[in-house]
Amino acid sequence: MTKDEKLLNDMKRTLRNMLKNFRLYFDKYDRLNSEGRALLCKVARIAAEIRPELLPRFRYVLKSGSLNDFIKLAREILGEEEIESFTNEYGVTSYQ
């Protein structure tokens, strides 16, 4: 496994964790809290190395802080099927 593959797996694992435990990383208004922002910044640093084209999306999500924008970003990285699975299994709400 190459370094880029390991970083991509770490990025995906962190996004999955944020989706599974979204109530820990988003407040009652579905906005990123400080822990969520810190974790998303970590993922953005990884993305800067392996997928720099995603950096504007990360900046946008960090600025808006909304769960909806986060889900759209996660959809780009994880794929549609995995996002639908999370939204159904964990009750994460996506406003298409």
What is the full DSSP assignment across 14-67? HHHHHHHTHHHHB-TTSBB-HHHHHHHHHHHHHHHHH-GGGHHHHHHHHHH-BH
The pLDDT of residue 96: 47
Question: Domains of the chain: which residue ranges?
Answer: 3-90
Q: What is the pLDDT of residues 46-62, one digit of tens each?
A: 999 999 999 999 999 99
Structure-token match 């990025």, residue found: 11
Q: What is the pLDDT of residues 74-92, one digit of tens each?
A: 999 999 998 988 878 877 7
The pLDDT of residue 17: 95
pLDDT of residue 93 exceeding 60: yes
Nearest to 73 by CA among 9, 4, 6, 12: 12
The answer to whether residues 43 and 71 touch, using CB atoms and an 8 Å cutoff, is: no
pLDDT of residue 94 exceeding 70: no
